[in-house]
Amino acid sequence: MEAPAAWFSINAFFVPDGAGRRLPNWYVYFEHPTRRTEAGFDTFDLTVDLLIHPDLTDWE
């Protein structure tokens, strides 16, 4: 999920859990806003990432 002109994007990666799937954490990438180019889309990672527990009680 990424808002236009945002300096971050929020990602959810689900893992198998028995008969279903679970969300181990939210993953936040800090990056330059995504730009449209002739080749598609261009981003630049700022190398700072944030992991947030699904219930928002903890982060690292």
Q: What is the pLDDT of residues 7-34, one digit of tens each?
A: 999 999 899 998 899 999 999 999 999 8
Residue 3 lies in a domain: no
Cβ atoms 24, 15 nearer than 8 A: yes
Q: Is position 57 within any domain?
A: no
Is residue 18 in some structural domain?
yes
Rounded CA-CA distance 25/54 in Å is 5
pLDDT of residue 3: 76
The single residue listed with the structure tokens 């700022």 is 46
Residues ≥6 apart with Cβ < 8 Å to 21: 14, 15
Residue 23, in any domain of the structure: yes
Q: What is the mean pLDDT of residues 26-51?
A: 93
Q: Which domain range does residue 46 map to?
A: 8-52
> Can you tell me the distance from the alpha carbon of 28 to that of 3, in angstroms, rounded to the nearest whole number?
13
Q: How many domains does the chain have?
A: 1
Please, what is the average pLDDT of the chain?
91
Q: Is residue 24 included in any domain, yes or no?
A: yes
Phi and psi (nearest 5°) for 32? -65, 155
Show the tokens assigned to 57. Answer: 């009680």
